Amino acid sequence: MSILGGGIFKGMGVTLRNFVGSYFRKERLTTNDYSWRPENKLPQSIGDYPKEEGEQLSDTTTVNHYSRNFPMLLHDTGEPMDTIRCVACRICERECPPQCIYIEKSTEKKEDADGKPQFYPAKFDIDVSVCMSCQICVEVCPFDAIVMNSQFELSTPDRFGGLLVRRDDLLKSNDYYHKIHPQEAASRDQKMADEKAAKEAKKKAAAEKVKAAAEAKAAAAEAANESKKDTE
């Protein structure tokens, strides 16, 4: 330290550099630059917010690839309840850390998208006032039935009912999922297709095994018959 107050002047120099520099270089600004975000995905002005009750912002409010807000239920192409993927196994309900999921299993089975009779959720409620967007339900779901939505304009004047999202409001199509999380949806579809193929291959192998066993049995029986004939 040469002169008293030298350190202070040095510091002042830094502030001056930042002040002047902020006119020329964006990274000197203390306010942040969000240019990496996809364009026009966030509401730009007050007019972009929904005006009427129930009206939603555009479908694609994805902020970035991994952004997670509240869960939604997926269904395949077709009528939502005919192609719902959820089979009400209630793993997500058990694993949900803040316990915001409420499921009631149906009493009878119904055909799912593949035509296989399955249970379905008679009730599937998510209390979004409790949900903490942790994505644990998505990870534990063995049927890829629940994924994260990116819809965040959920304000409601009704404190009690309005924040409890029911099954039919939670149901979204796979196409919608592809729109909001393209990469994730593609990889999930790929994974499901792989699993299905593996299952079918296994089934086929099992069937062939059964067939082979039956053939072998038949052959053995025939051989036995023939030997019987021989002894006769």
Partner 1 sequence: MTLAAPNYELLHQEGLETSLLEISMGPHHPSTHGVFRMDVKLDGETVVDLKPVFGYLHRNHEKLAENMTYLSSMPFTDRLDYFNSMTNNWAYALAAEKLIEVEVPERAEYLRVIMAELTRLVNHVTLVGFFMNDLGALGTPLMYAFREREKILDLFEQASGARMMCNYFRFGGLRNDVPEGWLDRTREVVDRFPAFLDEYERLLCENEIILSRTQGVGNLSRELAVNAGITGPMLRASGVNYDLRKVDAYGIYDRFKFRVPYTDGDTGDCYDRFMIRMLEMRESVAILKQALADIPEGDIIGKVSKVFKPKPAEVYGRIEGPKGELGFYLIADGTTKPYRYRVRPPSLINLTVLRDMCLGGQIADAVIILGSIDIVLGEVDR
Partner 2 sequence: MSELSHESLLNEFPEALWDEAAGAVILPAVNARTIAEWLLASGWDYCSNVTGVDYLEAEVKEKITNDAGETETVTRTEPGRIDVVYHLYSMANKTGPLIIKQRTGREGATVKSLTPVWRSCDLQEREVYDLFGVDFKGHPDQRRILMWDEFEGHPMRRDYTEPFDYEWEPTPHAEILEKHQRGKVIV
Give the C-alpha separation, 22 to 27, whole Å.
7
Q: Does 228 bind partner 1 (CB under 8 A)?
A: no
Residues 74-103 that bind partner 2 (CB under 8 A): 90, 93-94, 99-102
- Phi (first) and psi of residue 53, to 5 degrees: -65, 135
- Min. distance of Cβ 130 from partner 2 in angstroms? 5
Q: Which amino acid is at 86?
A: C
Per-residue binder mask for partner 1 (CB under 8 A), 137-156, x = binder: --xx-------x--------
Q: Of these partners, partner 1, partner 2, none, which one is at the site of residue 132 (CB under 5 to 8 Å by kind)?
A: partner 1
Choose from partner 1, partner 2, none: what does 139 bind? Cβ within 5-8 Å by kind: partner 1
Shortest distance (Å) from residue 27 CB to partner 2? 41
**What is the C-alpha separation between 168 and 93, in angstroms, rounded?**
18
The 158-197 site mask, x for binding partner 2 (CB under 8 A), equals: --xx-xx---------------------------------
Contact 103, 116 (CB under 8 A): no
Binding site for partner 2 (CB under 8 A): 90, 93-94, 99-102, 125, 127, 129-130, 160-161, 163-164
